[in-house]
Structure 1
Amino acid sequence: MAKVIFITGASSGIGKAIASYLHDRGHTVYGTSRTPGHHKDTVSFSLLPLDVTQPATMDAAVREIIQQEGRIDVLINNAGVGITGPIEETPSDEIRKAFETNYYGPLHLIKTVLPHMRANSEGRIINITSIAGYMGLPYRGIYSATKAALEITTEAYRMETEQFGIKMVNVAPGDFATNIASGRYHAPVLEDSPYKTAYGNTLAMMNQHVDSGEDPLKMARIIESIIESQNPNVHYKVGAFLQKFSIALKRVLPDKLYQRMLMRHYKL
């Protein structure tokens, strides 16, 4: 059965791949972008203006879809921002922006959509988090924190909304071949910084991982399976085997041993 699907951050990367795939599969898809006019000729689905740091734009987008379709069956919180740098040297304003985009924005959108789903006694909310949210990664600690916050909040929210026929799900991707690296906030590698060498090397490694990442179509197929499932899982991890295995290792290894493993991986 065709669904009315609302997905944020759909003008590029994983979001665009998911929206295009679901549109081609016969669903009614509304994507969002801060600048939809720049992308209207490159997408096959409807694109609405929305900035996840501006609540008024989220409220307006939800009103538009309800006016056009009468319902929202699936919300996919995909819009997000990357942020890297030594935590000590990362500007407080940039930390706040990361939380506004990756955490507070999705929460506001969930609150806006929930009454409409509750009125229909059903709905599916899919939050795109990150495998990085399962561990504190060096020079990506703020990003890890924003995604971890959304993961844990989703767990609680799912229990609160289950009584209304609404299922809330986390999907944590690893590295995918997208343009996310170009959109990250990178704290500058300062010449006089005590972190200069270690951060510079780690930054180069992170960018390389994204460049050699997996096909975003893999994410789109997982999302479709979640939409179609009668009783989806709470958590899904999508990525390379070693990235998913690292989560399992964190559960069983002593903390210090796991820390040493990460530090060796990042050559710290």
Structure 2
Amino acid sequence: MSKVVLITGGSSGIGKSIGEFLSQKGYVVYGTSRSPERYPDSKIKLVALDVADGDSISAAIRSVIVTEGKLDVLINNAGAGITGPIEEIPNEEIQRNFDTNFFGPINVIKSVLPQMREQNSGLIINVTSIAGYMGLPYRGVYSASKGALGLITEAFRMEIKDFNIHMTTLAPGDFATNIAAGRYHAPILNGSPYETPYGSVLKAIDADVDSGDDPIMVSHMIYKIINTSNPKVHYKVGALMQKFSIVLKHLLPSKVYEKLLLNHYKL
């Protein structure tokens, strides 16, 4: 029987690319969206799910399991970008970002674990970010939420190992998607002490996304992980220098690494 895959945030961007690729490979694929009716031409089945709404999560998971009788792979892909000086980002926006990028994936995991435990099998892939391995200026909240998801994955893996359920992370770098359109941007405030540096960094961030790689690279890596019998703790996918930046952080003194980031962002 074909494996059943659920991808949160499967209506656009990286999630859509993953879903269409896996569908072509013969998997039974469900994507999620807060408003599936907005995507009548979707090439994969979409179910309504809002990762910030516990009842919505439970209903979506239950729907897939009732229809298919099992759930083999969960890809926690839904996420939201956020930029701005940490001092000026409203607390409610910080909370909203963590609800989407951290608490949401945890609650989806909690909803699928009973079924996977009953099956004595399952794979959970948490999509984090290379940005989650380092605190980036004016992306600090995003770095923190994705970094937290990576750390909790490490703990989760050890807690569920006796149930034959595997969990891993996949950290993408910058890919050419529409993530910037859905990102929360703290406004560039006239007269703010951060006005000039934040404005400059924001342009650089958007340029990195616009010139990013094809998200099909992420789809290929997801496919590889699904077909790995004992997945590693963490995977990365993206431009060589973005992946190498993680290695450099472990090799270099912290102030030297910080200086590299400051130079990169011209701060």
TM-score range, shorter chain: over 0.9
Q: Could you tell me how far 1:132 is from its partner in structure 2?
A: 0.3
Deviations 1:149-207, CA, capped at 9 Å, x for gaps: 00000001001111110000100000000000111000000011000000000000000
SS in 2 for 1:87: coil
In the other structure, the counterpart of 2:46 is 47
Task: Kindly indicate whether residue 30 of structure 2 is the aligned counterpart of residue 34 of structure 1.
Answer: no
Residues 49-80 of structure 1 deviation map (CA, whole Å, 9 limit, x = unaligned): 11111111100001101110111000000000
Q: What one-letter code is carried by the residue in structure 2 that aligns with 1:59?
A: S
For normalisation by structure 2, the TM-score amounts to: 0.99
1:158 aligns with 2:161: no
CA distance in 1, matches of 2:240, 2:44: 32
Question: 1:116 — aligned with what?
Answer: 115
Give structure 2 stretches of 5+ with no counterpart: none
Root-mean-square deviation (Å) = 0.6
1:75 alignment partner, SS class: strand
- Name the CA distance, whole Å, in 2 between partners of 1:239 and 1:124: 22
Asked if 2 retains the 8 angstrom alpha-carbon contact of 1:151 and 1:170, the reply is yes
Q: Which runs of 4+ in 1 moved over 3 A?
A: none
Identity of aligned residues (%): 58
Q: Distance in 1 between matches of 2:266 and 2:125?
A: 35
Cα offset, 1:14, TM superposition:
0.2
> What SS is found at the alignment partner of 1:155?
helix
1:1-268 mapped onto 2 (5 Å cutoff): 2-41=2-41, 43-268=42-267
- TM-score of the two chains, using structure 1 as the length reference: 0.99
Question: Residue type matched to 2:116 in 1?
Answer: M
Q: How many angstroms does 1:40 deviate by?
A: 2.3
Aligned equivalents of 2:219 and 2:191: distance in 1?
43
3-state SS of paired residue (1:29): strand
SS of alignment partner, residue 87 of structure 2 = helix
C-alpha distance in 2 between matches for 1:86 and 1:118: 42
- SS for the counterpart of 2:169 is strand
Give structure 1 stretches of 5+ with no counterpart: none
Secondary structure, in 3 states, of the residue corresponding to 1:260?
Answer: helix
User: Which whole-Å deviations, capped at 9, do the CAs of 1:1-59 have from their partners, x for residues lacking one?
Assistant: 62100000011000000001001111000100011001121x21110011111111100
Amino acid at match of 1:35: S
Count how many residue pairs are aligned between Structure 1 and Structure 2: 267
1:194-232 deviation per Cα after TM superposition (whole angstroms, max 9, x unaligned)? 000000000000000000000110000100111111111
Task: Find the aligned partners of 2:224 and 2:243 in 1 and give their Cα distance.
Answer: 19
Counterpart code for 1:2: S
The DSSP-based 3-state class of the residue aligned with 1:6 is strand
- Three-state SS of the structure 2 residue aligned to 1:9 is coil
CA contact (8 A) 1:40 1:47 kept: no
